[in-house]
Amino acid sequence: MNKTYVITGAASGIGKALVEHFAKENIVFAGVRRKECLAELRQISVNVIPFLIDLCIEESITSAVEFIKNKTDKIDTLINGAGCVVAGAIERIPVSELKRQFNTNVFGHLSFTQGLLELLDGGRIINISSIIFLYLINLIIK
How far is Cα 28 from Cα 20, in angstroms, rounded to an integer? Answer: 9
The helix (run of H) or strand (run of E) holding residue 79 is strand 77-80
Which tens digit of pLDDT belongs to each residue from 18-72?
999 999 999 999 999 999 999 999 999 999 999 999 999 999 999 999 999 999 9
Whole-model pTM: value is 0.87
Listed residue (15, 11, 4) closest to 80, CA to CA: 15
Which tens digit of pLDDT belongs to each residue from 84-104?
888 888 889 899 998 998 888
The helix (run of H) or strand (run of E) holding residue 92 is none
- Taken in order of first residue, the domains within the chain and their CATH numbers are 4-141 (3.40.50.720)
CA 31 to chain centre: 5
Q: Give long-range contacts, CB 8 A cutoff, 24+ apart: 46-54.
A: 47/1, 47/23, 48/19, 48/23, 50/10, 53/8, 53/82, 53/112
CA 29 to chain centre: 10
How far is Cα 69 from Cα 64, in angstroms, rounded to an integer? Answer: 9
What are the C-alpha distances in Å from 141 to residues 80, 136, 138? 27, 9, 5
